[in-house]
Amino acid sequence: MNDDLNSLGQMTPPVPSADARARALSLAMQAFDESENNSKAPQGTAGARRQSSIFNRLWSPIMNRKFLAGSALATLLVVPAAAFLTLELTRGGLPVDTVESGGLVRERTEEQGDIKAPGQLKSSAEVHRLREEAARQSSADALSKPSPSRSVTAERKSSFSADEVASLLNKQDKQGVDQKSSGAARRALATPSADRAEDSVAGAEAGPMSQAQGQVMPAPVVTGETPVVELHSEPKLAQPEENRDRFTSAEINPVKSVATDPVSTFSADVDTASYSFVRKSLMAGQMPDRDSVRVEEMINYFPYDWPGPDSKDAPFKATVTVLPTPWNANTRLMHVGIKGFDVAPDVAPRANLVFLIDVSGSMDEPDKLPLLKSAFRLLVEKLKPDDTVSIVTYAGNAGTVLEPTAIKDKAKILSAIDTLQPGGSTAGAQGLEAAYALAERAFVKGGVNRIMLATDGDFNVGPSSDEDLKATIEAKRKSGIFLSVLGFGRGNYNDALMQTLAQNGNGTAAYIDTLAEAQKSLVEEAGSSLFPIAKDVKFQVEFNPQQIAEYRLIGYETRALKREDFNNDKVDAGDIGSGHRVTAIYEITPKGSPAVLNDDLRYGARSKVEAGAKPSGELAFLKIRYKQPDGDTSKLITTPVTEGNAVTTLQQAGQDVRFSVAVAAFGQKLRGTDAVSAYPYGSILDLASGAKGEDAYGYRAEFLNLVRLAKSLGGE
């Protein structure tokens, strides 16, 4: 066998006939031309010609020339080239233009942008059947498991042979079927059914952006009368994020009758968180949640020039002004302004601060952890060299980032702050335990020992009920370690919990929405927020029933105390820091005013004054009870209120008094208080503008803008 093959291999083949070869090639080219002319739906270039016909017109004249007709070079080069081109055209492997709906539509590969073949086509009925099959398979696969997103053309393989394709094309030509299906449907027909379903799911997952290439993919073009199945899912509308901000709901203080309830008692409040949150809401184009509005915190946000005490022996001085009510001509306002003793910075006690920082996943927003880090950097710059700072973080669990470190090693502290990164859940209770342990380790006797909790208020791991946390903080404050709270962000802010922590930790609660607010709270007012001059500060006002028929305390709903709590030193109350100011405003109704809401009691016992005792001439009697920062026994300061404290017109009141009244009106209106419902934002704006005075830091100018925003948002 091998010998025979070797013999055949050594034989010389006969010389081919040049004329026969030329005729064969000419007939082949003629067949191509006839096939081209008979095609009713030509596919090709803008000239509506197959690219094979273009090649044919190039090589036919060459082949017919005698110098190539009789040459072996034609056999070796041209014939194989023609066969290759014919095969590639049949397979659809060469770029082809598609005429669609009277216009030219070019299909390009996702990877290279080259024009590609539209795939193998079947009859109209079978095309429609395969589309429906692809849609059903796509839906089934999408429900079972999503396929990895991939490029449609990069992995596609034809499920039809070249003979089948040629047969289908001929069949379509004979039936005169209009080729009007979209490019997307043709690509689906060029793929086995399973692959088509996978590709449809992949397209839905990838959306309009190709994950493989990062390039925008055009949407499928749907033309013609035959329905075409979309190979991508409908885009889902973005759902608005759920607002999980939580606030304590408290009823607005009612009007009380002096005849039956002449005494009002409440705890001091120097927090400012509510004002900052209201500002953030209005700046975002939204009216604030009514429960987020605490009028007393809005009033106390601003610095006022109330006269202060002469010495720390009497840490407070009260200034009382009685003036007409802007929103009700038949009532009056009793305005109480209190200023605490201002401790000089050079004699301020040493500070042992623990930064307890929430680094959970919910803090991964620009107005949360990044702003928090900048805020603490400002505070570090304010502290003295012998003060100490520790840092504890909590997410899935608590961890110590920085052991107690003196401010003189500032670079180490700032570096520790810069390394903080968000992630994980929120083990807030565990973080508190770790922070208290560090505070105890670096405890400064006679100094300031305080934890600065910075969070969006989310405690979702561990013993996180308000009562459990309250009990822990109450126990620790007795050892001299206090707790202040800095809130950040919106959408997840637990204001109710923050208030509970701060009030029971003998600390303040601030809300940091901007770096400017951080500067105000932690730098400009650092003394008042860090260095207390008194603790458990309580206020009590007794109204004279001969002069006053009714009264209403504006704000302080969450700070109300029982009458008997005032003299009970075991009852906790608010703290006041160095130089701090506290403002309280009552709306009072004089005896005999048409604004009186409550009828006299028919059977009620009358007071001694009403029974005929000599009038005292007092309108009310103000009492302040407080403890020294390291004391356990309270002291009392009293101030009578008479007509000598009154002014007859609003303009006679000082600028600070009038501006604080404008803020009180604004807060009540945002809160939905009936008493100011008829008092328009425009009048509030006029009152505040006329009392703006000197505004070194621009706080009052900012307030005027907030009133304007509320006026617009409220549709006034």
Rounded to whole angstroms, the Cα distance separating 482 from 476 reads 8
| pLDDT at position 18 over 70 | no
SS (H, E, C) 586-612: EEEEECCCCCCCCCCCCCCCCCCCCCC
Task: Give me the long-range contacts of 644-653 (CB less than 8 A, separation at least 24).
Answer: 645/320, 645/321, 645/322, 645/619, 646/321, 646/322, 646/323, 646/332, 646/619, 647/321, 647/322, 647/323, 648/324, 649/324, 650/323, 650/324, 650/326, 650/687, 652/323, 653/321, 653/323, 653/335
Name the band, by pLDDT with cuts 50, 70 and 90, for residue 41.
Answer: very low
Supply the pTM of this predicted model: 0.66
Tens of pLDDT, residues 151-186: 433 333 444 444 554 454 455 444 444 444 444 444
DSSP designation for 558: G
Q: Give the chain's largest Cα–Cα span.
A: 150
Backbone angles phi, psi at 123, to 5 degrees: -70, 165
| pLDDT at position 132 over 70 | no
| pLDDT at position 45 over 50 | no
Higher pLDDT, 503 or 69: 503
Tens of pLDDT, residues 662-682: 999 999 999 999 999 999 999
User: What average pLDDT does range 238-249 have in this prediction?
Assistant: 67
Rounded to whole angstroms, the Cα distance separating 275 from 295 reads 8
Q: Right CATH number for 345-526 from 3.40.50.720, 3.40.50.410, 3.40.50.300, 3.40.50.9100?
A: 3.40.50.410
Structure tokens at 515: 């770096």
Q: Which of 328, 287, 265 is nearest to 664 (CA)?
A: 328
Look at residue 160 in the predicted model and tell me its pLDDT: 46
Look at residue 173 in the predicted model and tell me its pLDDT: 47
Number of Cβ atoms within 10 Å of the Cβ of 716:
10
Rama region for 44: left / alpha / beta (φ>0; ψ in -120 to 50; rest): left
Whose tokens are 């081109």? That residue is 85
Query: 207 by DSSP, 3-state: which?
Result: coil
Rama region for 446: left / alpha / beta (φ>0; ψ in -120 to 50; rest): left
User: What average pLDDT does range 361-389 have in this prediction?
Assistant: 93
Look at residue 379 in the predicted model and tell me its pLDDT: 94
Structure tokens at 653: 């009141």
Name the band, by pLDDT with cuts 50, 70 and 90, for residue 399.
Answer: confident
In the sheet with 448-455, reading across from the earlier edge strand, the strands are: 398-406, 388-394, 351-358, 448-455, 482-488, 509-512
| pLDDT at position 277 over 60 | yes
Q: Which of 347, 275, 239 is nearest to 513 (CA)?
A: 275
User: What average pLDDT does range 408-430 have in this prediction?
Assistant: 86
| Paired sense of beta strands 548-553 and 256-257, if any | antiparallel
Tens of pLDDT, residues 446-501: 899 999 999 887 665 455 566 777 778 888 888 889 999 999 988 778 888 888 88
User: How far is residue 237 CA from its own chain's centroid?
Assistant: 18
User: What average pLDDT does range 521-529 have in this prediction?
Assistant: 83
Look at residue 510 in the predicted model and tell me its pLDDT: 93
Look at residue 528 in the predicted model and tell me its pLDDT: 75
Q: Which helix (H) or strand (E) holds 190?
A: none
State the DSSP string of 338-407: EEE----GGGPPPEEEEEEEE-SGGG-STTTHHHHHHHHHHHHHHS-TT-EEEEEEESSSEEEEEEEEEG
State the DSSP string of 510-530: EEE-SHHHHHIIIIITHHHHH
Rounded to whole angstroms, the Cα distance separating 169 from 181 reads 15
| pLDDT at position 226 over 60 | no
Rounded to whole angstroms, the Cα distance separating 72 from 395 reads 82
For residue 603, give Cα distances in angstroms to 213, 260, 559, 606, 608.
88, 12, 32, 9, 15
For residue 648, give Cα distances in angstroms to 319, 333, 569.
17, 11, 39
Tens of pLDDT, residues 280-289: 999 999 999 9
Q: In sequence order, what are the residues at sequence separation of 6 or more whose Cβ sits closer than 8 angstroms to the Cβ of residue 193?
A: 130, 133, 134, 137
Name the band, by pLDDT with cuts 50, 70 and 90, for residue 35.
Answer: low
Rounded to whole angstroms, the Cα distance separating 224 from 181 reads 6
| pLDDT at position 548 over 80 | yes
Domain boundaries, the chain: 2-91, 100-206, 256-272+288-343+532-596+615-713, 345-526
Tell me which CATH homologous superfamily contains domain 256-272+288-343+532-596+615-713: Gamma-adaptin ear (GAE) domain (2.60.40.1230)
Name the band, by pLDDT with cuts 50, 70 and 90, for residue 249.
Answer: confident
- The region of weakest confidence among 208-212, 226-230, 344-348, 354-358 is 208-212
Tens of pLDDT, residues 586-635: 999 999 999 999 998 888 665 555 555 455 789 999 999 999 888 889 99
**What single-letter amino acid sits at 27?**
L
Look at residue 414 in the predicted model and tell me its pLDDT: 96
Rounded to whole angstroms, the Cα distance separating 230 from 217 reads 14
| pLDDT at position 559 over 60 | yes
- The region of weakest confidence among 49-53, 191-195, 529-533, 595-599 is 191-195
Number of Cβ atoms within 10 Å of the Cβ of 409:
14
Higher pLDDT, 244 or 548: 548
User: What average pLDDT does range 564-578 have in this prediction?
Assistant: 92
User: What average pLDDT does range 506-517 have in this prediction?
Assistant: 92
| pLDDT at position 238 over 80 | no
| Paired sense of beta strands 263-267 and 532-543, if any | antiparallel
| pLDDT at position 212 over 50 | no
Rama region for 132: left / alpha / beta (φ>0; ψ in -120 to 50; rest): alpha
| Paired sense of beta strands 482-488 and 509-512, if any | parallel
Name the band, by pLDDT with cuts 50, 70 and 90, for residue 129.
Answer: low
Q: Specify whether the CB–CB gap between 393 and 435 falls below 8 A.
A: no
Residue 90's Cβ-count burial label (10 Å; 0-12, 13-18, 19+) is middle
Which residues, in sequence order, are bridge partners of residue 398?
394
User: What average pLDDT does range 295-317 have in this prediction?
Assistant: 91
Structure tokens at 543: 């109204």
Sign of CA dihedral 477, 479, 484, 485: negative
The whole-chain average pLDDT of the chain stands at: 76
Tens of pLDDT, residues 634-663: 999 999 999 999 999 999 999 999 999 999
Higher pLDDT, 443 or 362: 443
User: What average pLDDT does range 539-558 have in this prediction?
Assistant: 96
Look at residue 293 in the predicted model and tell me its pLDDT: 97
Residue 178's Cβ-count burial label (10 Å; 0-12, 13-18, 19+) is middle
Residue 650's Cβ-count burial label (10 Å; 0-12, 13-18, 19+) is middle
Look at residue 6 in the predicted model and tell me its pLDDT: 63
Alpha helices in 207-312 (DSSP H): 273-283, 295-299
User: What average pLDDT does range 98-121 have in this prediction?
Assistant: 41
Query: 646 by DSSP, 3-state: which?
Result: strand
Name the band, by pLDDT with cuts 50, 70 and 90, for residue 273.
Answer: very high
Rounded to whole angstroms, the Cα distance separating 376 from 372 reads 6
Q: Which of 108, 107, 97 is nearest to 183 (CA)?
A: 107
User: What average pLDDT does range 24-50 have in this prediction?
Assistant: 56
Q: Choose the most confident range, by mean pLDDT, from 129-143, 183-197, 357-371, 552-566.
A: 552-566
Look at residue 85 in the predicted model and tell me its pLDDT: 52
Rounded to whole angstroms, the Cα distance separating 683 from 699 reads 19
Tens of pLDDT, residues 699-713: 999 999 999 999 999
Report the first-to-last Cα separation within the chain, whole angstroms: 108
